[in-house]
Amino acid sequence: MLPFRRVLAFSSRVHGFLLMLYIFFAFLMVLGCAVRMPDNLLELVSWSLAVIAWSMIFFGVWIILSSFVLFFYSRVFIVEPVATTIIRIAVLLLLAFLLDVGNTLIVKGITI
């Protein structure tokens, strides 16, 4: 079971790197709202954010499910990958929400 735990730890580390990549592209999106950038670049950044977000969600589900498989196989539940995955997905959803609110405010404005 040790090799499977190593794969789970590596997967959790990759999930963290995906979050850092998402934060980088989120910074590019915010920068694109502050500085004039070509529309093609903003579309590419937006598409990259969507791909990274869905990859993180599917990868997070895989980490959580594999943790439960490991629990049923070895009767030892490893909390750290599950807890950090849930925290990372929550941060991802919060960043996506803030980017969407900011984009909506910039594009459509506030109507009363």
Spatial separation of the C-alpha atoms in residues 109 and 28, rounded to whole Å: 21
Q: What helix, strand, coil percent values describe the chain, rounded to 5?
A: 90, 0, 10
- What is the residue-level pLDDT of the chain in tens, covering all 112 positions? 778 889 999 999 999 999 999 999 999 999 987 888 888 998 999 999 999 999 999 999 999 999 999 899 888 888 899 999 999 999 999 999 999 998 888 878 777 7
Residues 6+ apart with CB under 8 A from 22: 49, 52, 53, 56, 92, 95
Domain ranges of the chain: 9-101
The pLDDT assigned to 48 comes to 95
Spatial separation of the C-alpha atoms in residues 87 and 14, rounded to whole Å: 14
The pLDDT assigned to 46 comes to 92
Instruction: Give the count of alpha carbons within 13 A of 42, CB side only.
Output: 13
Distances (CA, A) of 21 to 5, 70, 80, 84, 112: 24, 28, 21, 16, 37
Neighbouring C-beta atoms of residue 111, cutoff 10 Å: 4
